[in-house]
Every structure is written in C-alpha cells, then in structure tokens.
Structure 1
Amino acid sequence: MPDHDTYQRLISLLDDSRVDYKLIDHVPEGATDTVSTLRGHPVSEAAKCIVLRVKVDRRTTRHVLAVVPGDRRVDLDAVRTLFAARYAGFSDAETAERLARAVPGSVLPFSFDPDLELVADPEVVARAHLYFNAARLDRSLRISGADYARVARPRVAPIAGPAPA
C-alpha cells in the first residue's frame, strides 16, 4: 500500500475520532533526533516506532509494532518477556514496510494490519504532546498521548530501555 494511502487512512481515522491534531510540514527526514529538531520539540516527545519479530516458539512468529519515547530504545528483553517468547529482534525491512504500510522513518504508531500487534510504552501514552511522521517523510503530526491511546488502542506495557544519562 503506498504511503499516501496510509496517510489518508490515518487522517480519516483521526477526523472520524474527533482527535485534535496538528500537521507539521518539513523537509523529508526520518531520523528521530533530526526530525524532532525540525519540528521544534524535545526528542522525548517523539514516538519512535519499531517493527519487531517475536518468536514465541519454533512454529509461532508474531510481528509487533513497538512504540517508545524518541529518546529511548526498545528493550528487546522486555518485549520477549511480555510475549513469553524465545526471541525478540528487529524485523527485516521488507516485512516491516509491508506490515506498517510505510517506509522506514515514517512508520506510524498505529497498526492498520491485523498481523501487526501494537505495544506502546506507558511514557508514550502519558505525553501531553506526541509527535510522529505521518506515514510520510515530509509531514508529521502532533496529538496528545491520551488521544493516541484512545484511538490506536495499543497494549500498554513497559518496553522502553533506560533513559540516557
């Protein structure tokens, strides 16, 4: 599915859910630190979205969209424990792009694919302002963490690694 379709689906979802959001246009950028600077907010207010492959057992693989604050890393051990799995690691780029329906750097903190389970760290949903690329590298969105939780309905669990010193 092309990026613009995912973008339109997101905007329709937010409009239908009566979410107060702000669109922010910027030069194309997908790196969390850099795009946070372009948008003019602390990196901690960004939603970093990573597609993971979680092997529950030898026959069962699940795909997880992990959402953590932009200044944190995904704690793979926490994800593995959360799913009682043998392994948790990063998905390959092709699978991530197919499931997220967006190119790397523009992955939404929403899942529009039933095979992609959404898990957000509690710090993400607690943010007054949450920023993320809107399935495009040249446009971002700002919404509240509460609206994000209400509309995206992620599983909320501590999956972020420690904050940097």
Structure 2
Amino acid sequence: MSEVYHRLVDHLRNNGVPFQEIEHPPAASAEEYRRVVGSALHEQAKALLLRRHRRGGGKDLLIHVLPGDQRGDLDALAGPLEAKRLRMARGGELREATGCSFGELPSVGSVFGLPLSMDARLLAQKRIFFNAGVLDRSVILDPKDLEAVESPIVVTLPHAAPRP
C-alpha cells in the first residue's frame, strides 16, 4: 500500500472522521468508477491539482474537488480562488507535490500541506467517494465531516452544468 494511502487513513482516523474503506478493481473513467464502487457520478469527489497564479503575485498549488459529473471550469474558479490564472498541474508537479499519479489524488489537502477548495454541490450529498491515494481503494464519508477537518474554500459556481 502506498505512503499516501497510509497518510490519508491515519489523518482521517486521527481526526475522528468516520469513513468506510472499500477495495475494488482500478477504474479508468468516472463512469467505470461509478459501476465499480456503486456510486452516483455526483457523489464522486474528483480531485484536481491546480497551479494558481495569485492576483497579488506568487504561485502555489491547491487541490480543487468537484462532483464527478462536472468539468473543472478554471476560468470560473479563478475569481473565488483569488487567482489571476489557474492551470492544471502537470504530471511531474502532481507526483512531486503529492506522491500521486493521475487518478490517485485523494480529496484532501492537509495530508499534502496544500489548501483545499470544494465545490458546494458536494456538501449537499449524504456521502462522497474518492480514491484513497491508490487506484484500487476508495474512501466513503460524509462531506460535512471532510469540511470540518479540512476547512476548505467552498466554491459555488453559478452556471456550472453536468458534463454530457
């Protein structure tokens, strides 16, 4: 099991976050993941590592989490995240900052010392699913418990629509 997996599970346990862990075959897409773990697409917490170019100068990385049936609209996110520009982090940046490869990034920031932003629609769910730092294990938890532990920037985008 990966170091990221152990850090995530320890973080959740140490902070008293109730969660369920499931082992499953790796999935290559949100739709395949839905079938494998038994989630609805909107219950999936898809994590994106973003490079933020701050309005006042400087750059940093942050993790943005959105429902699995949504696309990351970086232009719309720039305002709420106080960025003049956002871009997806490159594979090398992802590996260096988190130890994860594409698809493995869990929906937490503090495990990596990174800020977290969360789409408000996830907080309306009773449960969310996300990869646990490896492709064959996932965590299911109440998003309000995650919010309490992570204190994310909660983002409400007015015109977001599900992806086709």
Structure-1-length-normalised TM-score: 0.88
Identify which of 65, 68, 71 aligns with 2:66: 68
Q: How does 1:9-48 map to 2 (within 5 A)?
A: 9-48=7-46
Q: Is the 8 A contact 1:100 1:108 kept in 2?
A: no
| 2:112 equivalent to 1:113 | yes
Letter in 2 for 1:31: S
SS of residue in 2 equivalent to 1:86 = strand
Shift in Å, 1:13: 1.6
Letter in 2 for 1:162: A
Shift in Å, 1:140: 0.7
Letter in 2 for 1:113: F
SS of residue in 2 equivalent to 1:82 = coil
Cα pair distance change 1:58/1:26, threshold 3 Å = same
Shift in Å, 1:57: 5.2
Q: Is the 8 A contact 1:78 1:158 kept in 2?
A: no
- For residues 99 and 126 of structure 1, the distance between their equivalents in structure 2, rounded to whole angstroms, comes to 29
- For residues 42 and 147 of structure 1, the distance between their equivalents in structure 2, rounded to whole angstroms, comes to 19
- For residues 13 and 83 of structure 1, the distance between their equivalents in structure 2, rounded to whole angstroms, comes to 25
- For residues 7 and 122 of structure 2, the distance between their equivalents in structure 1, rounded to whole angstroms, comes to 22
Unaligned segments of structure 2, at least 5 residues: none
In the other structure, the counterpart of 2:161 is: 162
Unaligned segments of structure 1, at least 5 residues: none
In the other structure, the counterpart of 1:122 is: 120
Query: Which consecutive segments of 4 or more residues in structure 1 shift more than 3 A?
Result: none
- For residues 78 and 124 of structure 1, the distance between their equivalents in structure 2, rounded to whole angstroms, comes to 17
Residue by residue over 1:127-158, the C-alpha shift from the partner in whole angstroms, topping out at 9 and shown as x without a partner, is 10100010010111100111111122211112
- For residues 28 and 98 of structure 2, the distance between their equivalents in structure 1, rounded to whole angstroms, comes to 15
Identity %: 25
Cα pair distance change 1:30/1:15, threshold 3 Å = farther
Letter in 1 for 2:34: S
Identify which of 85, 88, 92 aligns with 1:87: 85
Superposed CA RMSD in Å reads: 2.0
Shift in Å, 1:59: 5.1
| 2:69 equivalent to 1:77 | no
Count of aligned residue pairs for this structure pair: 162
Q: Is the 8 A contact 2:21 2:140 kept in 1?
A: yes
Shift in Å, 1:85: 2.6
In the other structure, the counterpart of 1:7 is: 5
In the other structure, the counterpart of 2:50 is: 52
In the other structure, the counterpart of 1:139 is: 137
